[in-house]
Structure 1
Amino acid sequence: MDSNKLLKVEGLYKSYGGHQKGRERNYAVADINLSAASGDFLTLLGPSGCGKSTTLRCIAGLESPDLGTITVADRVLFSSDNGISVRANQRGLGMVFQSYGIWPHMDVYKNAAFPLQVGEKKNRPPAKQIRERVERALEVVQLSDFAGRSATALSGGQQQRLALARALVMEPPLLLLDEPLSNLDAKLRTDMRFELKRLQHEIGVTTVYVTHDQSEALAMSTNIAVMSNGKVEQVGSPREVYGSPAAEFVARFVGSANLVSGTVTSASGDGVTVKTPDGLITASTTTDLAVGADVFVSVRPESVTLTPAGGERGEWEGVVDGSAYLGMTMEYRVKVGDTEWNVSGSSESPLADGTPIRLSFAKHGCAAVPMAAAS
């Protein structure tokens, strides 16, 4: 793993419930390897129970792993080999939970200052420095004008920003966010995505963010680690994870994909031609696939072009089986043989239900995944 990374998680295992003789240990996370460079926004994305929050809690020191190493800014926080396990309150990391944990009997300023005022007296910053750091943190989250207001008088979005200020006032090398937007309504969640991204970019703090919301992950991250059943399925930029899924699970979970099975008939560079029950399709791939390999092809709905049937033959042919108007776009359900496809198209010239059509595919929107990797 790159030695220049600010965060390094290597060979992380965590189990619950103890180990019973004669039974395999049940791991919540197994062999997790992750890293983040200074200033990165790394998102752990996956469904409930996949291990993303457990991984974050291990980094924070709120869970004790069975095996592995966790290093932040060249400081080893946990090492099973060397018997190192730094307590959570000594790691110096910032963390915001789903429940913001705002102190209701304190005003905004006192809430933000609280982390600097607890702990051993000899380790507390001077009063002047506390004031400067709190004022700077409140300014960053745009709460300076609310410093004297009771925390319970804040809106949901303001409370979320106050929780961020309380984490940032520690000036941590690493900020950990565990689904901090889950308690907000849909519009406020969207607004706060941009706000969080702006704050993270402005401050430059390395961030690890946990969510099950793929839209949040795609909109905010520099890198995404897609997790399933306690393992990391793929790590990459939002564009890589969305456009070049490495496994069937990633293709299904990130975005909306049409998946069709087939066999590779030719391979050249980073592309393959796949024979499916409905016809040939050309796809990109990040894996070396040999002729004859069984694969899934993931096709994004926006990568399919529909044109009325007729003219030259040879394209895939089908019929519009249903449609929905979504403003600037139309969502179509297209029947091709016994397979139903989801297709996105322009709403300027909508196709009526029952229209015979031809389908063509953009190669960059089609990704071939080996069946062995998708199982």
Structure 2
Amino acid sequence: MKKVGVVIPIYNVEKYLKECLDSVINQTYTNLEIILVNDGSTDENSLNIAKEYTLKDKRIILFDKKNGGLSSARNVGIEYFSGEYKLKNKTQTIKENSLIEFNIEGNNPYEIYTVYKSYKAFNNEQDLTNFTYPIIDYIIFLDSDDYWELNCIEECVPRMDGVEVVWFDETKYYEISCKNQSQSSRLKDINMKQEKKITSLEWLRHLARSKMKDFSFACSGMINFNHIKDKKLKFKDGVFAEDHLFGILLFSQAKNIYIYPKIFYYYRIRANSLTNQDKKITKDNILPYFKDIFIVFEENATLAKEYFKCASWVQTSLELVQFIENYHDKKISSLLRDVILYFYIKNAFKVEKFDKDPLCIKEKLQLLKPYKISKIKYKIMRFLIS
């Protein structure tokens, strides 16, 4: 029976966390290893709820860390399952109805304070000393204000045979007022309505035929964990829309992708999120790791967010260019350049409009100039491909 690792970042989601976790622990497929990563929550109950669920379900392990953003929290999951952490038990004796505490020994790049596991996972004190990371076959990410259909994992596992990714559909729930409450999704946008297996080359050609100019992927599917390790894939820290670079590199390097156009994932659009679509940004929406930029822009939250987005597109573009230039499959590289790169380069150069540059990102634009093309040329290239 294949073992599936579930990674759930948590940040100030006390209103939604129970709904999310109930959808995970009640999955019809039970062979799970569930990682909760509390990313420095400042609300009253997020961490307490996470501890409550960790105590009652021995499949859960809880990491409590300094706030570093969504990428850092997801990467803790990847690094834990990859065996990059050495856990040292802080708790010496097992007591009923209690959490066992561990510290990270040695390398701890994301400043993990404490790791928690239920007493139910251990038979004796020797188990505490010998505790180590589980070996998983597949990994799946879920944001803590979202939730799954209860048969999500059971439906995905058999379809993982011979593919690197199973890509399923999602639906959105709008908690905030948006002008455009679209129910579109990446899968719907490329008009894939039938279950089928495709190659990375076919994926890019489908993008070219669609109106989609960019691409992102994080929570809308299951991933072969060996693929993650072999390609050394992680989420880029400290950027907006981290799922763009991750998704493009993941799909580009996959031999096969399974298209499963069925809705399993319920995605909440809410106000207290850096990536929400609401333009009414307030001081309360600024995440702790983002505050330095916020201060430089004199607490103008909207301006700070726009700068951060543009600076992130610069960093994403640089990574994409490096991948395109070095990737061994020149057909994939060529299609990435012609189909996807234009969107990121175009948005990267918008950083030029800002007088302030706290991340010193403008100087890196010089590296992107050779890849800057006109909109007309871009449209012609996409037309020829499609």
Instruction: Pick the structure with more strand per residue.
Output: 1
Instruction: Pick the structure with more helix per residue.
Output: 2
Normalised to the residue count of structure 1, the TM-score between the two structures is 0.29
Normalised to the residue count of structure 2, the TM-score between the two structures is 0.28
Between structure 1 and structure 2, the one with the greater Rg is 1
